[in-house]
Copies of this chain bind each other. A is one copy, B any other.
Amino acid sequence: MEPAKLTEISSLGEFGLIDRLTKNLGPSLNNSTLKGVGDDCAVMRYKDTDVLVSTDLLLEGVHFDLTYVPLKHLGYKAIVVNLSDIYAMNGRPRQVTVSLGISARFAVEHIETLYEGMRLACQIYGVDLVGGDTTASKQGLVISVTAIGDVEPGKEVYRSGAKDTDLICVSGDLGAAYMGLQLLEREKNVGAGQKNFTPDFAGKEYLVERQLKPEARKDIIEALATKGVLPTSMIDVSDGLSSELLHICHDSHVGCRVYEDRIPIDYQTAVMAEEIGMNLVTAALNGGEDYELLFTVPLHDHEAVSKMEGVKIIGHITKEDLGYRLITRDGNEMPLKAQGWNHLQ
């Protein structure tokens, strides 16, 4: 943190800080946003739609490390991961609220930088920041984001609708965000104690970007709508493909078969896995933080999803008693297990 020209938060007070952070929010992007920041509540007007709400809590030292996470990226990611949950219901995000717990080592400018990233994500995804809470923290930075969205009644896609013979599809590629985290941690350790250390990300920029600045798959939701494909179940990949697929199977009372050679993995992910001696498929199955969409569609949508850019069919749903299986490249069957992230273990 640069020493010059920083403004102490105490010099503004809570209301002054909120004014400063929210004065650049601009006009509402959604007709449903009736009243944003500045009253006891935000007010939204939805007609003939269902309302979706999702919330995430991000804590310094658990979910992010400010040694290598720039505040602007952190703000961007904090918004995006919540929007991802709205898309995963086949919804459209419209509003977010942001609560911040700010410890004494942060200056106004730091929080403005964090907010800049949040505003940028809001603009890109067409979402209004409509409220929140700002308080001191004795415990590092605390970020709580709640996203509100809407979906046409009957078009919401739950985790529980997958049926026997459905195709299992996933967007983008998997494991890169996890490899990005390994890379950032490695460079942090290499650079520890060195002044003016420059981390080496050459040839691995994609991994860093996937970790620091993930995107939510708005484009996939729009493409599905355009093609008239309504998934039978959907979830976003935050904890890793295995964990999410098991959520769908559990909630839908079905089994699954996933083909190892179908799992989409980027070249940089493979290189990094090789470098650190980690099994590539393990990384792709359990890495987490990909924020891709995992969904199932009926067999008759095979042609439509086959032609969708950025979507891959990785397997199919089976009867529940057939279990949860990974078919390896050499044709063996392995049980699919959820390792995923588990911050509580």
A residues with CB within 8 A of B: 9-10, 12-14, 17, 34-35, 38-48, 50-57, 59-63, 85-86, 88-89, 91, 95, 97, 99-102, 130-140, 142, 144, 146, 148-149, 151, 153, 156, 158-160, 234-236, 251, 342-345
The 4 closest A-B pairs by CB, nearest first: A139-B139, A144-B144, A57-B99, A40-B88
| B95 A57 Cβ-Cβ under 8 A | no
Q: A85-B40, A137-B62 are in contact. Are A55 and B343 (CB under 8 A)?
A: no
| A17 B148 Cβ-Cβ under 8 A | no
Q: A97 to B57, alpha carbons, bound, how many Å?
A: 11
Give me 14 A-to-B residue pairs in the complex whose CB atoms sit less than 8 angstroms apart, sorted by A's number.
A14-B343, A17-B344, A34-B50, A38-B159, A39-B89, A41-B86, A41-B89, A43-B89, A43-B156, A46-B51, A55-B99, A57-B142, A59-B138, A101-B142
Q: A99 to B101, alpha carbons, bound, how many Å?
A: 14
In-complex Cβ contact of A136 among B62, B131, B156, B235 (8 A): B62
| B54 A131 Cβ-Cβ under 8 A | yes
| A50 B45 Cβ-Cβ under 8 A | yes
Q: What residues on B are CB-neighbors of A38 within 8 Å?
A: 159, 251
Residue of B whose beta carbon sits closest to that of A17:
B344
| A40 B159 Cβ-Cβ under 8 A | yes
| A140 B142 Cβ-Cβ under 8 A | no
In-complex Cβ contact of A35 among B39, B158, B235 (8 A): B158
Question: A18: shortest Cβ distance to chain B, in Å?
Answer: 10
Residue of B whose beta carbon sits closest to that of A103:
B139
Residue of B whose beta carbon sits closest to that of A42:
B53
Q: A158 to B95, alpha carbons, bound, how many Å?
A: 19
Q: What residues on B are CB-neighbors of A44 within 8 Å?
A: 50-53
Q: A53-B148, A57-B101, A142-B57 are in contact. Are A135 and B63 (CB under 8 A)?
A: yes
In-complex Cβ contact of A344 among B10, B43, B52 (8 A): B10
Question: A150: shortest Cβ distance to chain B, in Å?
Answer: 10
| A40 B236 Cβ-Cβ under 8 A | yes
Q: What residues on B are CB-neighbors of A34 within 8 Å?
A: 50, 156
In-complex Cβ contact of A56 among B61, B85, B133 (8 A): B133
Q: What residues on B are CB-neighbors of A142 within 8 Å?
A: 57, 59, 101, 139, 142
| A101 B59 Cβ-Cβ under 8 A | yes
Q: What residues on B are CB-neighbors of A43 within 8 Å?
A: 50-52, 89, 151, 156
| B140 A59 Cβ-Cβ under 8 A | no
Q: A85 to B91, alpha carbons, bound, how many Å?
A: 27
Q: What residues on B are CB-neighbors of A345 within 8 Å?
A: 10, 13-14
| A57 B14 Cβ-Cβ under 8 A | no
Q: What residues on B are CB-neighbors of A62 within 8 Å?
A: 101, 135-138
Q: What residues on B are CB-neighbors of A343 within 8 Å?
A: 14, 135-136
Apart from A43-B50, A47-B47, A60-B139, 6 more pairs, CB < 8 Å = A13-B344, A39-B159, A41-B53, A41-B91, A57-B99, A137-B139
Question: A29: shortest Cβ distance to chain B, in Å?
Answer: 16
In-complex Cβ contact of A53 among B97, B101, B135, B137 (8 A): B97
Q: A47 to B48, alpha carbons, bound, how many Å?
A: 6
Residue of B whose beta carbon sits closest to that of A136:
B343
Most interface-central of A85, A100, A251, A344 (chain B CB within 10 A) = A344
